[in-house]
Amino acid sequence: MSGHLTIAGLGPGPDAQVTPEVTAALAAASDIVGYGPYVARVAPSGAARHASDNRVELERARLALDLAAAGGRVVVVSSGDPGVFAMAAAVFEAVADHPARNTIAIDVLPGITAMLAAAARIGAPLGHDFCAINLSDNLKPWPLIERRLQLAAEADFAMGLYNPRSRARPAQFARALDILRAACGPARPIVFARAVGSADEAIAITDLGAATPEMADMRTVVLVGSSTTQRVGRWLYTPRSAG
């Protein structure tokens, strides 16, 4: 007997930003699998809940696939979009490790990622070419992160920076700011968007010259403008043309 696996994005936080198809998948689920705080965001139902720590993505993916192979209607939940630094890649990595799991029906349901929710709050800072970089070195070496930051700045991308600073690695974001200041100059706009959509939401717009590491934590997404990003009133936008 084979069930079904859905990988769903819960969006940045507010229930209103969860898509109807994700809501429907959760209502039909026999099992909900995910990082503990994300599982806790799902409204109570008859589904069994399988919450786990934030550094066991592959184990979580294997559990979800096993539950689906046994006939369950399983939903793996991520915050934001499941394909952006989240569980979709982990599930397909687990499938690749065991090709027999290719027989399991899998759907990926998109969600609003934090970078886009933050950008919408302040206008259109990602209105032209942009990139997203995860500053956590849990799954990749810090020198690689530094190189990607440097090259993105040299290419004049606007940037969305995820997981900028944690208690386990408080010094690395200071280094990231140094790289950006050296490449972009002190006047480049930078946005610190914390807990967008929640009661704790806080958004600060400043420039690289005034930015400090303490302005970010793990609930913050950081947006950095390109050389063409402009301020108009309380808004930031990046023109759609460049040249």
What one-character-per-residue DSSP string does 92-128 give?
HHHHHHSGGGGGSEEEEE----HHHHHHHHHEETTSS
Q: What is the mean pLDDT of residues 189-204?
A: 93
Q: How far apart are the first and last CA of the chain?
A: 57
Domains and CATH numbers, the chain: 4-112 (3.40.1010.10), 115-237 (3.30.950.10)
**pTM, entire model:** 0.92
Query: Residue 48: left (phi > 0), alpha (psi -120 to 50), or beta?
Result: beta
pLDDT at 240: 92
In 10 A of CB 155, how many CB atoms? 11
Name the token pair of 231: 């301020």
Structure confidence at residue 95 as a pLDDT band (50, 70, 90): very high
pLDDT at 23: 97
pLDDT at 218: 87
**In Å, how far from its chain's centre is CA 82?**
8
Is the pLDDT at 1 greater than 60, yes or no? no
Q: What is the mean pLDDT of residues 98-117?
A: 91
Amino acid at 98: H
Is the pLDDT at 69 greater than 70, yes or no? yes
pLDDT at 213: 94
The three-state secondary structure class of 223 is strand
Is the pLDDT at 29 greater than 90, yes or no? yes
Is the pLDDT at 66 greater than 80, yes or no? yes
